[in-house]
């Protein structure tokens, strides 16, 4: 009799411990957040109960602190997935939301933008928000080199930066991407100079000359080396005469052969004898 009592008592104790181990006390802020999420996202109806959402918010709160709750209330069910995808960098996502508010959702809710942010940090997030539709490709291609450049220029400067990238300037030579740190340092004035001289900067010699002392050129103290050399030559050359001479050289054999054939025809017809 006593043995049976002890067995039953022990079983109840074990069951109680098991239930205690797997149940999480729901804090009031977590439950309030869960109620808010369910009310804001009707699609959850019939899929997850308030208690289930409350348990998730509680787990997130225990892991990351109550600072995660505003983000979850804004992002809803997607927020839990975002935290999961971010892994050990989930605290960075929470800090981004705390810094940028609802704007951060635009970044963290899109896998490509979230990936860029997780890889390159807050500066990349700032660039994405400052230049939507332009920054994505530049950050993907050039990473941290592009963040400073994008954050240092205006909307027009970013548009021009995107254009010269598509035109191939930033990959024309092994050193071409070094233009990005120059833009990061000098901002729109650097972008304006590069835009005006993008053709010349395709040439390695001109590019290296500029990179060696960019401030001098940006401030207008001097021109690219190709200007003082090439412009006087172009201005003082009689291109019509040179073009005519080139054509004469090309067609001279043809003209000579034609004259010989004409002379032969005339001779055969007796014209030459007269």
pLDDT digits 0-9 by tens, 121-144:
999 999 999 999 999 999 999 999
The residue-averaged pLDDT of 243-252 equals: 50
- Whether 182 and 126 map to the same domain: the answer is no
What's the rounded Cα separation, in Å, for the pair 143 and 120?
7
pTM (2 decimals)? 0.68
Binned at pLDDT 50, 70 and 90, residue 266 comes out as low
- Whether 126 and 164 map to the same domain: the answer is no
Domain count across the chain: 2
Binned at pLDDT 50, 70 and 90, residue 239 comes out as very low
Q: Which residue among 225, 248, 268 closes a domain?
A: 225
- 158's CB contacts (< 8 A; 6+ apart) are 130, 131, 134, 135, 150
Percent of the chain with pLDDT over 70: 70
- Whether 95 and 118 map to the same domain: the answer is yes
- Whether 159 and 221 map to the same domain: the answer is yes
What's the rounded Cα separation, in Å, for the pair 24 and 246?
90
- Whether 122 and 157 map to the same domain: the answer is no
What's the rounded Cα separation, in Å, for the pair 159 and 165?
10
Provide the domain limits for residue 172.
153-225
């Amino acid at each position: 009799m006593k043995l049976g009592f002890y067995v039953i008592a022990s079983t109840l104790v074990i069951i109680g411990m098991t239930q205690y181990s797997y149940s999480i006390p729901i804090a009031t802020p977590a439950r309030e957040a869960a109620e808010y999420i369910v009310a804001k996202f009707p699609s959850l109806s019939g899929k997850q109960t308030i208690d289930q959402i409350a348990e998730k918010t509680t787990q997130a709160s225990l892991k990351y602190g109550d600072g995660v709750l505003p983000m979850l209330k804004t992002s809803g069910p997607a927020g839990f997935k975002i935290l999961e995808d971010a892994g050990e960098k989930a605290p960075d996502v929470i800090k981004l939301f705390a810094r940028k508010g609802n704007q951060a959702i635009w970044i963290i809710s899109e896998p490509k933008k979230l990936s860029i942010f997780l890889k390159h940090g807050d500066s990349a997030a700032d660039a994405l928000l400052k230049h939507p539709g332009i920054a994505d490709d530049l950050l993907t291609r050039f990473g941290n080199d592009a963040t400073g450049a994008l954050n240092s220029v205006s909307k027009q400067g970013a548009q021009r930066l995107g254009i010269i990238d598509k035109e191939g300037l930033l990959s024309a030579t092994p050193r071409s991407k070094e233009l990005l740190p120059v833009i990061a340092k000098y901002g729109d004035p650097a972008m304006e100079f590069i835009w005006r001289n993008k053709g010349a900067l395709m040439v390695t010699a001109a590019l290296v000359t500029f990179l060696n002392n960019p401030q001098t050129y940006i401030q207008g103290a001097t021109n690219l080396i190709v200007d003082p050399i090439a412009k006087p030559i172009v201005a003082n050359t009689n291109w019509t005469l040179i073009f005519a001479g080139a054509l004469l050289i090309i067609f001279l054999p043809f003209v000579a052969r034609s004259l010989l054939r004409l002379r032969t025809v005339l001779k055969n017809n007796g014209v030459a004898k007269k």
